[in-house]
Structure 1
Amino acid sequence: MTESSDTNPSRPRLELGEFLKKKRAALKRSDFGIESAGPIRSKGLRREDVAYLTHVSLSWYTWLEQGKDISVSARFLSRLADALRLDEAERRYLFRLCGQQAPQGRPLPDGAGASPQLVRLLGAIRGAAFVIDRRWDVVAANRYAEALFGIRLPVQAQPPNVMRLLFLDGAHRALMPDWESDARKAVAKFRLDVREAAMPELEAMVAELRGLSAEFDAFWREAAVASRTEDRRVFRHPAVGELRLGYTLLDVAGRPDLRLNVYVPEDESSVQGLDRLVEIGSAGR
């Protein structure tokens, strides 16, 4: 493993350095049986600790954190992931940043969009359900999602984008009493998708959002990544009050570029609230 002469590291290498520094800073030296000698500069692992745990020289590991273009092996990355106690999503993210084997990329097929069968499935769901593509654009939505989130398809010239709704749409943000927590989780998931997709338009979207939203920029700089999990969300709509919904994100069979987002009411009050929103929406058309 040798250092390259390249002194202009790519964005993934810079992200790698930020990610590694944040992950080692979150760990305690005492958890690894490392005794401190002399004044303690920080509670987290030091670079020399990680170098020791991964069996490389301090200089070489320092170059890695500095984003220099050095070659890394899959074996080393596995040791590094173990040393930093990365979860599954973080491990995949680490490998992707280093150009190593990662979950297979999912290029967009020609004529991307929801099939008629998928649209019919959305219509049968009694809950807010919509489909997003690799860019997190909404390509299909049922009447509950349209009523709750203000989505209008295919009337809108540009498809609604989940990240832009979260960070640039004040009305959408007002629906979410736990906006900061929910938005931070979304950015962690989006970050992993951006790196796995390797699509220039996603990189451009990140740059745009970082320039337009201080909150997105702050969450992005946290370098957190997360895999998809089920969750519970609370929305507060001015017309019907609080809605408590269980959230699930599913891959679409045969269309790995699409994902189905489903928000199912968790109590009768939320069922009635969603029904009322659909009635209000229908009356307003």
Structure 2
Amino acid sequence: MPTDDDRRAELGAFLRSSRERLGRADFGLPPAGRGRTVGLRREEVSYLSGVSVTWYTWLEQGRDINPSRQVLDALSHTLRLGVPEHRYVLSLAGFAPLPARSAGDVEPPPPHLQRFLDAIGDNPAYALTAEWGIAGWNEAYQRLYPNVASTAATERNLLWVVFTDPAVRNLLGDWQLTSQRFLAEFRAEIGSRLGDPAILDLVARLSEASADFRAGWERHDIHGFESRERVFHHPEFGTVRYEHHQLRPSDQPEFQLVVYTRA
């Protein structure tokens, strides 16, 4: 069983590792010694977080100190930690984790990500949360799938609409293949979070709502994402073909952006 010393050492090592992975240009900072473009100095992290450099240094060294939750929240923001990483930092310091989200808690993406989606123009694009909630989309995606704008937030989840919305079943040219491929990709992504309440809630609701989901979930298929051609049978536009791409913003890695470009 890990001791307090072990947890402090792990917290220090995690903070240091996170700091050393940051791109300096992302913070408007020039290259460091010998043209180094990756990694912030301790002084820079402490300044950006409003934490004394001595206090931050002691944290990285695993000293026997008790940082406040406010300090850890500020450092997590500066280090651009995702929700799972932020929870990890809090747990190492002995704080209660962040409130668990349900799969229905779909908040809009940051404004700059929505502007990026809009700038993609005529190529359908949308943003997914870590639980595959559809958080944002552009007009081209809404033209492809109009129901996205009218679906309740609690059901605006990619897996939920794929397995329960008849309009999506008709829209997808290869629904059986695509639905199971999505499910295998989802399972590959959330393997370390299978016990999260948000994931358990989503899986339970889908298992009850869809026999196809339930059968696929019980097969335990795993598949990593690969760009591929997608075929849609749209009631207005006819058959359209796109190439399916996935991106992760470096400053908001908890979101994945899906973009369809004309094949």
TM range (shorter): 0.5 to 0.7
Q: In structure 2, how many angstroms separate the alpha carbons of the residues matched to 1:249 and 1:257?
A: 13
CA RMSD of aligned residues (A): 2.5
- Alignment partner, residue 228 of structure 1: 225
- Alignment partner, residue 122 of structure 1: 117
Q: Does the Cα contact within 8 Å between 1:140 and 1:153 map onto a contact in 2?
A: no
Gaps of 5+ in 2: 1-80, 87-97, 99-105
Q: In structure 1, how many angstroms separate the alpha carbons of the residues matched to 2:148 and 2:180?
A: 26
* 1:142-162 Cα shifts (integer Å, max 9, x gaps): 001111112445984546110
Is 1:264 equivalent to 2:241 in the alignment? no
Q: In structure 1, how many angstroms separate the alpha carbons of the residues matched to 2:117 and 2:127?
A: 9
- Alignment partner, residue 187 of structure 1: 183
* 1:227-265 Cα shifts (integer Å, max 9, x gaps): 111111000011110010000111121112100000111
Q: CA deviation at 1:112?
A: 5.3
Given candidates 158, 164, 177, the residue that maps to 1:168 is 164
- Alignment partner, residue 212 of structure 2: 215
Q: How does 1:36-115 map to 2 (within 5 A)?
A: 106-107=83-84, 113-115=108-110
- Alignment partner, residue 254 of structure 1: 251
Q: In structure 1, how many angstroms separate the alpha carbons of the residues matched to 2:160 and 2:146?
A: 13
* TM-score in terms of structure 2 length: 0.57
Q: In structure 2, how many angstroms separate the alpha carbons of the residues matched to 1:116 and 1:105?
A: 17
Identical-residue share of aligned pairs (%) = 28
Change (3 A) 1:184 1:157: closer
- Alignment partner, residue 142 of structure 1: 138
Q: Does the Cα contact within 8 Å between 2:126 and 2:138 map onto a contact in 1?
A: yes
Q: Partner of 1:173: helix, strand, or coil? A: helix
Q: In structure 1, how many angstroms separate the alpha carbons of the residues matched to 2:118 and 2:82?
A: 30
* Partner AA of 1:121 in structure 2: F
Q: Does the Cα contact within 8 Å between 1:141 and 1:153 map onto a contact in 2?
A: no
Q: CA deviation at 1:213?
A: 0.7
Q: In structure 2, how many angstroms separate the alpha carbons of the residues matched to 1:252 and 1:151?
A: 26
Instruction: Could you list the structure 1 runs, at least 4 aligned residues long, displaced by more than 4 angstroms after superposition.
Output: 108-112, 151-157
Q: Partner of 1:255: helix, strand, or coil? A: coil
Q: Does the Cα contact within 8 Å between 1:211 and 1:217 map onto a contact in 2?
A: yes
